[in-house]
Structure 1
Amino acid sequence: MIDLDELVEEHGVVGAQLAVLTDGEIADFAAGVLNADTRAPVTTESLFQIASITKVWTATLVQELANEGRLDLDRPVCDVLPGFRPVITPRQLLTHTSGIDGDLFHDTGSGDDAVEKFVARLADARQIAPPGELWSYCNSGFTVLGRIVEVLRGKPFNIVLKERLAAPLGLTVATTYAEGEALHAAVGHVDGQPVTDPGPESDWPAGSALAMSARDLLAFARMHLATPAFAVMREPQVSLPDFGNRASWGLGWDLPDYSGGVVIGHHGANRGLASFLRIAPDRGIAVALLTNGGAAREAFDDVIENVFSALAGVRRPEPARPPAAPEAVDERFLGTYRCAGHEVVVTPADHGRVQVNLDDDVREFVALRSDALIAVDEPHTVLVLKSDLLHFGRAAARI
């Protein structure tokens, strides 16, 4: 088992929890501090925001409605939300294939009507791609799913989440920032300094505020593995663009292409916070790592290599790397691409390379394939061109 104190120190992580599920039992560990100013220590009972891992909780609430026959995943969303204009289905929202602009964040407060107000502002959301055509990670879509849950259950989303998931499992969760502060949730850190701007709570279902311990996150994962009605959520629904790892997506779950067995999971990031979950369903093995600052991705890589892969007997795919002698980049990549919250500018560089400015992060890329670019330096980010869309996890349209 990995030494969490050493892991935190090695990667400059401010505070962390690690939980491991084996043989139906959960072991958990804590290290570091919740807040660099107060120096309050992280314990195994501390709460961390799980950010976009919340989407799996939202997907579970949606799947419950489908299992009960109260929601058809393949009927238009407007059947449940009259006035919602994009002609898309709950399945497309669950699989990030709705085509609507993905990173629309509207602050509509934190009251019981926050999600309703948020979704009302999405009624005329722009379509980046036709529904069902392309996977493009979409935060906004999960807020729409949260509103579907509210309408069909007749209660605010955060209340439904507590009543139908947290309470039956005996889990302690915070669904608002105020609750998190009262329950001593970890504070995010940027460059080692506490972050005091958490962002809007109005996109609860997509991952703005839900906080819990790593142990409780794995209790939720264990419930998933023990509930046959949720197994359908782990079935591949759509292939991701070819970023070099042949991944696919289920109903809310990320399905990375590990060798040696099926693996599912999700990760999340709010400002100064990062969360990671990986599960090998056939082996009953799972790990959760929750952090509040520092080189969290590198710490997670260590957990995957030294804990999860060893226990589950699986191996994650090797990441794509730049070719030794790449072809010159085709001129059709050049241009400016935009989607909600993101801009990508591709311009010529020396020696057949291009310069890519992605949200003011400027790096050099070479050709990976005829339809893809890869960053020269680590991390070797891959960009895929599909028609006039440049894909980096989100699809941005050429302007």
Structure 2
Amino acid sequence: MRIEVAGIRARVAELLVEYGIPSAAIGVLHDGEITEFAVGVKNVETREPATTDTVYQCGSMTKTWTALAFMQLVDEGKADLDEPVRTCLPGFRVADPEASATVTPRHLLCHTSGIEEAYGDPGEDDDVYERMVENIADAPQLFPPGHTHGYSPALGYALLARILEVCDGKRWDDVMRDRLFGPMGLASTSSWYEQVDAARAATGHLIRSPAEGPTVTPVDRLPRAFGPGGNITSTTREVLAMAHVLLDEGVAPNGQRVVSAEAVREMTRSRVPVPDPYMFGPAWALGLVVCDWHGETVYATDGSTIGHNARLRLLPDSRTAIAMLTNGGPRESFYRQVFNEILTGLGTVTIPDLPAPDATPTLDPSRYEGVYGRPGARYEVSAEGGKLYLTLVLDPVQAAFLQKPDRIRHELLPVSETHFLVPPADPSEDTQTVAIYDFTHGDARYLHTNCRVHPRLDG
């Protein structure tokens, strides 16, 4: 089946207006052919139209690129997924001696190291990842290595990047150019803002309220510390080149072998469970999220910066990949509607809905009540009238920036004894999900939402 571009383009244009997103670039790889189009504007102030050559910030989709480069080291015998990190980085240590000795690249790739993001300010110079390794000597553990899943926005992949730097004798940005972008023929993909062609770059936007509409972000890029975990910019066609590598056993569209077929199998089959399985997927592989769409395995890699959003879905059974890059959002419902339009037209499996609430579980509120958090994030779970409530406590500066109150309260709707729906407090937001779990010692020990883990703080 072929994609009916005119109809989908028109539908995307309608949805962009509805959600206040300035533009979307979409690419589909299906049966070896690429279909791509762009709708909207690169910047709401200049009104310059977005095209398929427009480059967007990919955010944490960068982690999949870094994972591919690291798997090249594994292929070459220069690194091992299950050897301690300090085998390659002898100076690596954190506050916990056991974690210092046992954390491995596999832990880092699938976000189970448990190390807090306590790397301070490593600066913007070429030695940023070396400094991050030095700065975490006193970093505490959120949980013991391998105990649960807790997403690491920057630190975990910065450690992998430092291993790449040590093995290759060059900075991470050059490693990515020489190992991936150059051999794959990707002229539009870069890892550092100074390499980006400003004339082709989409401007990021924030949508703080429907009345205000999209406004140009005041933060035009993430710090360099996020590089290996969030700073790649690209086009939909070149994101699909990465997808091709994963769908075609390690071979890029230009015929270049990027990694071995065994490396791709390891990336997709080495998995850890995700405590909250509903928002993204029930498992995390090496640089990829594993989704279950009505019994079919689908792989995902997403990313957001302060004004951009990126989505990629890989459907191996139908040899299909869909990429979408936007300069506003993210909105889960926007992505679902756009992708389901495309998937339905292709006759493939579609994205499942979130589960419905289940009124049958009889919950003991006292086991959930408490304060959960980590630096920069605080959640309070309370009970009232037999119901559980979740209050997100925002830093006053963050609340003012987002034009939101500093305490946002949601009712928790049970899906099971450990999983809950979080209805939006604002019509411009989407329903979220949360897991409150690990009752080993009686009360829940962790709250997991948006892939982040938050230990109990009050006992």
CA–CA separation in structure 2 for the residues paired with 1:82 and 1:318: 46
CA–CA separation in structure 1 for the residues paired with 2:229 and 2:345: 32
Give the 5 Å matches for 1:4-83. Answer: 4-83=12-91
Cα RMSD after superposing both structures = 2.2
* Residue among 165, 189, 193 paired with 1:177: 193
Alignment correspondent of 2:300 = 265
CA–CA separation in structure 1 for the residues paired with 2:415 and 2:317: 34
The one-letter amino acid of 1:5's match is A
Instruction: Report the 3-state secondary structure (helix = DSSP H, G, I; strand = E; otherwise coil) of the residue aligned with 2:415.
Output: strand
Going from structure 1 to structure 2, the CA distance change for 1:183 and 1:70 (only over 3 Å counts) comes to farther
TM-score by length of 2: 0.81
Going from structure 1 to structure 2, the CA distance change for 1:185 and 1:329 (only over 3 Å counts) comes to farther
The one-letter amino acid of 2:435's match is L
Alignment correspondent of 2:411 = 364
Instruction: Give the superposition deviation at 1:315.
Output: 3.3
Give the 5 Å matches for 1:97-246. Answer: 97-101=112-116, 103-104=117-118, 106-139=120-153, 140-171=155-186, 172-180=188-196, 182-191=198-207, 192-197=214-219, 198-207=221-230, 209-226=231-248, 227=250, 228-229=261-262, 230-244=264-278
* Residue among 275, 283, 292 paired with 2:318: 283
Contact 1:329 1:367 in 2 (8 A): no
Contact 1:371 1:384 in 2 (8 A): yes
Deviations 1:238-260 (A, max 9, x none): 11115457611111111111125
Alignment correspondent of 2:355 = 320
The one-letter amino acid of 1:131's match is P
The one-letter amino acid of 1:162's match is R
Alignment correspondent of 1:396 = 454
Deviations 1:346-374 (A, max 9, x none): 12233433243254432121443333333
Instruction: Give the superposition deviation at 1:106.
Output: 4.2
Q: 2:359 aligned with 1:344, yes or no?
A: no
Going from structure 1 to structure 2, the CA distance change for 1:123 and 1:27 (only over 3 Å counts) comes to farther
CA–CA separation in structure 2 for the residues paired with 1:105 and 1:38: 38
User: Identity of paired residues, percent?
Assistant: 34
Q: Which runs of 4+ in 1 moved over 6 A?
A: none
Going from structure 1 to structure 2, the CA distance change for 1:193 and 1:133 (only over 3 Å counts) comes to same
CA–CA separation in structure 2 for the residues paired with 1:397 and 1:149: 31
Instruction: Report the 3-state secondary structure (helix = DSSP H, G, I; strand = E; otherwise coil) of the residue aligned with 2:126.
Output: coil
Contact 1:322 1:380 in 2 (8 A): no
Instruction: Give the superposition deviation at 1:76.
Output: 0.5
Instruction: Report the 3-state secondary structure (helix = DSSP H, G, I; strand = E; otherwise coil) of the residue aligned with 1:202.
Output: helix
Structure 1 runs not aligned, ≥5 long: none
Going from structure 1 to structure 2, the CA distance change for 1:185 and 1:361 (only over 3 Å counts) comes to farther
Instruction: Give the superposition deviation at 1:324.
Output: 4.0
CA–CA separation in structure 1 for the residues paired with 2:328 and 2:180: 28
TM-score by length of 1: 0.92
Contact 2:336 2:351 in 1 (8 A): no
Contact 1:237 1:250 in 2 (8 A): yes
Deviations 1:293-337 (A, max 9, x none): 146433211122111355262233331232246645521211111
CA–CA separation in structure 2 for the residues paired with 1:190 and 1:318: 26
Alignment correspondent of 2:110 = 95
Instruction: Give the superposition deviation at 1:381.
Output: 1.9
Contact 2:81 2:106 in 1 (8 A): yes
CA–CA separation in structure 2 for the residues paired with 1:342 and 1:284: 39
Structure 2 runs not aligned, ≥5 long: 94-99, 208-213, 251-260, 395-406, 425-429, 440-444
Instruction: Give the superposition deviation at 1:10.
Output: 3.5
Instruction: Report the 3-state secondary structure (helix = DSSP H, G, I; strand = E; otherwise coil) of the residue aligned with 1:282.
Output: helix
Deviations 1:180-217 (A, max 9, x none): 3535321211121111312311220010x210111110
The one-letter amino acid of 2:175's match is V
Contact 2:293 2:349 in 1 (8 A): yes
User: Which stretch shifts more, 148-157 or 4-13?
Assistant: 4-13
Going from structure 1 to structure 2, the CA distance change for 1:296 and 1:221 (only over 3 Å counts) comes to same
Contact 1:338 1:396 in 2 (8 A): yes
Aligned length: 397
Going from structure 1 to structure 2, the CA distance change for 1:215 and 1:106 (only over 3 Å counts) comes to farther
Instruction: Give the superposition deviation at 1:37.
Output: 1.7
Contact 1:255 1:265 in 2 (8 A): yes
CA–CA separation in structure 2 for the residues paired with 1:176 and 1:372: 38
Instruction: Give the superposition deviation at 1:342.
Output: 1.4
The one-letter amino acid of 1:190's match is L
Contact 1:15 1:33 in 2 (8 A): yes
The one-letter amino acid of 2:375's match is A
CA–CA separation in structure 1 for the residues paired with 2:269 and 2:323: 21
CA–CA separation in structure 1 for the residues paired with 2:138 and 2:352: 39
CA–CA separation in structure 2 for the residues paired with 1:213 and 1:157: 21
Going from structure 1 to structure 2, the CA distance change for 1:33 and 1:297 (only over 3 Å counts) comes to same
